[in-house]
Copies of this chain bind each other. A is one copy, B any other.
Amino acid sequence: MKKGITALRKGKQTRAAILDKAVAITSRLGLDGLTIGSLAQATGMSKSGLFAHFGSREELLLATLDHGAQLFTDVVIAPALRAQRGAPRLRALFGNWLDWTESSALPGGCPMIGAAAEYDDRPGPVRDRLRFGQGQWIGVLRKAIRLAIETGELDPATDPAQLAFEMFGIALVTHHHRRLLGDAGARQRALTALDRLIAANAPRSPARAAA
């Protein structure tokens, strides 16, 4: 038998394949649209065979969110960390974020944004997982902002939480406008907004960048 470099056992790799499809479906139809039957059909498996991988639908939803979060980390965060800390990294994070919502693997945009809108008022494990993921991501954003303050590219008086909040808003409205309204210029508007956001938080006394 051939064993790939990853040496994944059969079950694990079909599970991963299932979750790829699950993330895509969630992207288009939301978590509510992710049913065992439709997912089985999409993967060519039987309902019961697929079901055995997760034990319950809720576990499937949680696994899908985890899979999506892992994908997000790989595609959005990790590459941006290779950019120079400070403003370049902040812009890279933001740009990758916008790209992510247009990824071909996500026919309906960011699955977490959709899921958040669905589950923000439904207490339970799904919402908890969502909160955790979004909290992690906001933490990454805030840290990148703090580093930009350290490099002198942002004013020391900048509130990282406030700036992350506003950046998040731009990402959400970009998603909203492009997806729902078909606004092709949304991305450009988003970049314009980010520029103004950074400019508004530029150092008041033009101290040269350090580090």
Asked if B176 contacts A172 (CB within 8 A), the reply is yes
Residue A160 lies at the interface, judged by CB distance under 8 Å to chain B? no
Contact between chains at A120 and B180 (CB < 8 Å): yes
Binds B, one of A13-21, A29-37, A144-152: A29-37
Check A9 for interface membership: any CB of B closer than 8 A.
Answer: no
- Total interface residues on A, using CB and 8 Å? 45
Tell which of B32, B162, B173 touches A166, judged by Cβ atoms closer than 8 Å: B173
User: Contact at A176–B120, with CB atoms within 8 Å?
Assistant: yes
A82 within 8 A of partner (CB): no
Residue A28, interface by CB 8 Å: yes
Known contacts A113-B117, A117-B113; decide if A181 and B28 are in contact (CB<8 Å): no
B176 and A168: CB pair below 8 A? yes
A127 at the interface (CB under 8 A from B): yes
Q: A32-B33, A173-B165 are in contact. Are A121 and B193 (CB under 8 A)?
A: no
Q: Mark out the residues of chain A between 131 and 181 whose CB falls within 8 Å of any chain B CB in the assembled complex.
A: 131, 134-135, 161-162, 165-166, 168-174, 176-177, 179-181
Identical subunits present: 2
Known A-B contacts A162-B192, A162-B193; the reply to A107 vs B121 at CB < 8 A is yes
**A3: Cβ under 8 A from any B Cβ:** no
Q: Which of chain B's residues have a CB closer than 8 A to the CB of A130?
A: 180
A116 at the interface (CB under 8 A from B): yes
Is A114 a contact partner of B107 (Cβ separation < 8 A)? no
In the A-B complex, list the 6 residue pairs whose CB atoms are closest, starting with the nearest. Answer: A169-B173, A169-B169, A117-B117, A120-B179, A108-B121, A120-B180
Given contacts A109-B120, A165-B189, A172-B172, 16 further A-B contacts (CB under 8 A): A28-B121, A30-B117, A107-B121, A108-B121, A119-B180, A134-B181, A165-B173, A165-B186, A166-B170, A166-B193, A169-B169, A169-B173, A169-B174, A169-B193, A172-B173, A172-B176
